[in-house]
Amino acid sequence: MIELGVHRLPNRVFVAPMAGVTDRPFRRLCRRLGAGYAVSEMAASNPRLWHTVKSSRRLDHQGETSPIAVQLAGSDPAMMAEAARFNVDRGAQVIDINMGCPAKKVCNVAAGSALMADEALALRIVEAVVAAVDVPVTVKMRTGTDRTQRNALALARAMESAGVRMLAIHGRSRACAFGGEAEYETIAQVVGAVGIPVVANGDIDSAAKAAFVLARTGAAAVMIGRAAQGRPWIFREIDHFLQTGRMLPAPTLEEFGAVLRDHLVDHYAFYGEDAGPRIARKHIGWYIDGWCDSQAVRPSEAARSAALRAEINRCESPERQLALLDAYLEHAHDDQVQLH
């Protein structure tokens, strides 16, 4: 069992922070469906941005299960320290430092995974944040700047000495972004070199893959990112398999529909009737694509799903989006009945 300060995490299957994805509705859903820990999408360290609508939403943790973990992005140690204090004052129980994001707009300001190229600055940031708050500080990073410069091991040792309580490592370099395959050797090396929990991230898309990565790396936990988009029940599937060695059955169409509807209702309440439907489009697309893939649907049904997505993307009303989904689910149910 992993402990973060006074918090004992219930399992070792975590939600990765993803900008534009792991908002409060999604985090709450993933926790309800078996995730043992969730980190918020990254929040800006720049105080000029703290009171914008976007930042206010990212700092909204109402109804979330402890521990509430907030990820910060920035490249100025003093600013990062102040942002950490600001968030702890507003309920954050863990502060996570983003040294893993490969996005150009983040790296171009020397933040995210760009920090791995400046080890001295990275450590100054860690030291400043650890000194600023009395909650656990964690770091999410990559293997290095590119495949020839893998410095995660050196940074991990230094960060542990500086007071970091847990590390999450994506098995790709900054240069790799999300291309190619994740490698786990670097993560295994870090696990063998530090005494704090190390979390493995990258290309974990099934219960079997999670078990393989844990065995390959010796990591304390796994962190799931893109594989949870449209498939939030992956957390309970992995947790169940790790505990029992048995696979859970896939969700029924009825549960699929109920989960999607619950997610959307919470989503609309969070974002409002104007922004909610627009922001929901990507989630709906992920759900529908995932369902079609899992059911190996016929070409005619795939075409209908594509048409539904197009209509949803034109829809700006929560009620209309839900009505379209209800009609789609009813049609999918009728197809299942006919097949049986």
Note the pLDDT of residue 146. 74
The residue written with tokens 């941005």 in the block is 49
What CA–CA distance (Å, rounded) separates 173 from 158?
19
Residue 212 has pLDDT above 80, yes or no: yes
Strand partners, 70: 95
Residue 136 corresponds to which amino acid?
P
Ordered by start, the domain boundaries in the chain are 3-244, 253-339
What CA–CA distance (Å, rounded) separates 218 from 210?
11
Q: How far, rounded to the nearest angstrom, does the alpha carbon of residue 284 sit from its chain's CA centroid?
A: 17
Mean confidence (pLDDT) of the chain: 89
Positions marked active-site: 101
332 class by beta-carbon count within 10 Å (0-12 exposed, 13-18 middle, 19+ buried): buried
For the segment 10-69, what is each residue's pLDDT rounded down to a tens digit? 999 999 999 889 999 999 999 999 999 999 988 878 776 666 767 778 778 888 999 999
Strand partners, 8: 3
The residue written with tokens 């920035």 in the block is 74
Q: Which one of 3.40.50.261, 3.20.20.70, 2.60.40.10, 3.30.70.890 gives the CATH number of domain 3-244?
A: 3.20.20.70
What CA–CA distance (Å, rounded) separates 142 from 98?
10
252 class by beta-carbon count within 10 Å (0-12 exposed, 13-18 middle, 19+ buried): exposed
Note the pLDDT of residue 69. 96
SS3 222: strand
Note the pLDDT of residue 43. 82
Note the pLDDT of residue 45. 80
Average pLDDT value for residue range 154-178: 92
H/E stretch holding 15: strand 13-15
Whether pTM exceeds 0.85 = yes
Residue 140 has pLDDT above 60, yes or no: yes
Q: What is the dihedral of CA 32, 33, 36, 38, to 10 degrees?
A: -70
Give phi and psi for 267, each to the nearest 5: -65, -45
Comparing 125-129, 147-151, 170-174, 283-287, which segment has the lowest mean pLDDT?
A: 147-151
E strand residue ranges, 115-233: 137-142, 166-170, 198-201, 221-224
Average pLDDT value for residue range 187-200: 98
For the segment 82-134, what is each residue's pLDDT rounded down to a tens digit? 999 999 998 999 999 999 776 556 655 546 778 988 999 999 999 999 999 99
Residue 174 has pLDDT above 60, yes or no: yes
What CA–CA distance (Å, rounded) separates 133 from 119?
22
Q: Which residues are CB-neighbours of 337 under 8 A, at least 6 positions away?
A: none
Q: Which residues are CB-neighbours of 1 under 8 A, at least 6 positions away?
A: 8, 9, 10
Antiparallel, parallel or unpaired: β 198-201 and 166-170 = parallel
* pLDDT confidence bin for 299, thresholds 50/70/90: low
* pLDDT confidence bin for 335, thresholds 50/70/90: low
Note the pLDDT of residue 339. 37
Strand partners, 146: 149
Note the pLDDT of residue 31. 97
